[in-house]
Amino acid sequence: MNFKMSIAENLQHIKASIPEHVQLVAVSKTKPVEDLQLAYDAGQRHFGENKIQEMAEKFEALPQDIYWHMIGHVQRNKVKYMAQFVHLIHGVDSFKLLQEINKQAKKHNRVIKCLLQIHIAQETTKFGLSEVEALEIMMSNDLKSLENIKIVGVMGMATFTENKAQIEQEFTALKLTFNRLKQVDNSMTEISMGMSGDFPIAISCGSTIVRVGSSIFGHRNYNN
Ligand SMILES: *Cc1c(COP(=O)(O)O)cnc(C)c1O
């Protein structure tokens, strides 16, 4: 199948299947700017990348009204390369990282929106905080001094499995964690969960942001 011909169709198809209140982030990691441009021309404005340098290069090359989402694991020493333009950082998993994002955001006179990444999968390889650790961050006095970041919600990745019941259980756990964190900060609104293989389940469990890559752009080739 030639996905390049059908990026617009894939987008249209997915958009038709998700409710209006759910934000679709087109995950374009490893894909050339030409592919992103095709999605842009089809009306897509929110894009997700997992490497800061790659995102910064694409930011330079593409229209300025794109909302850039950092969905990967963030190294503190690279925050400075995206602080000027990033729209939402999904993978925040430590207070130290929040401090660095705050510091870099301040230089650009911005408030950068962040999500706390919560570990919900059985796999130990996936990054993220426990609910207790996330609560500690939300309740810490030091957080109040970080005026250039705003925690707007949570993000999580389910186990890579065919077992739908397990995926549903993990997404439900994330929704419950969100509810408890929201009791600390009632302004939180976002739950980023759901990828190509599981976004319909995620939406049924309360997702507000889905991160969809291969169903839009085709399979990724990590060798090029
Ligand atoms: C790659 C990636 C996605 C998209 O995955 P697909 O299965 O291609 O939809 C979503 N979220 C994160 C964190 C990713 O790294």
pLDDT of amino acid 31: 97
User: Is the pLDDT score of 224 beyond 50?
Assistant: no
What is 3-214's CATH topology?
TIM Barrel (3.20.20)
Q: Are 183 and 144 in contact (CB under 8 A)?
A: no
pLDDT of amino acid 123: 79
Compute CA 124 distance to the chain's CA centroid, rounded to the nearest angstrom. Answer: 20
**pLDDT tens sequence across 83-140:** 999 999 999 999 999 999 999 999 999 999 999 999 998 877 768 999 999 999 999 9
Q: What is the mean pLDDT of residues 66-86?
A: 98
pTM: 0.95
Q: Are 208 and 21 in contact (CB under 8 A)?
A: yes
| Interatomic CA distance for residues 169 and 193, integer angstroms | 13
Q: What is the mean pLDDT of residues 36-50?
A: 98
Ligand 1 site, CB within 6 A: 27, 29, 50, 71-72, 157, 195-197, 211-215
pLDDT of amino acid 5: 58
pLDDT of amino acid 122: 85
Res. 27 pLDDT band, cuts 50 70 90: very high
Ligand 1 pocket: which of 13, 17, 70, 71 to mutate (most atoms <8 Å of CB)? 71
Q: Is 114 helix (H, G, I), strand (E, B) or coil?
A: strand
Residue 109 CA to ligand 1 centre (angstroms): 30
Residue 4 CA to ligand 1 centre (angstroms): 19
pLDDT of amino acid 221: 76
DSSP alpha helix (H) spans, 18-68: 33-41, 52-61
Which neighbouring-strand residues pair with 70? 49, 89
Indicate left, alpha or beta for 84 from its phi (over 0: left) and psi (-120 to 50: alpha): alpha
pLDDT, greater one: 221 or 193:
193
Q: Which residue spans within the chain are E strands per DSSP?
A: 23-27, 46-49, 67-70, 88-92, 112-117, 149-155, 190-192, 209-212
**pLDDT tens sequence across 148-192:** 999 999 999 999 999 999 999 999 999 999 999 999 999 999 999
> Where are the chain's structural domains?
3-214
Instruction: List Cβ neighbours of 57 (8 Å cut-off, separation of 6 or more).
Output: none
Residue 213 CA to ligand 1 centre (angstroms): 6
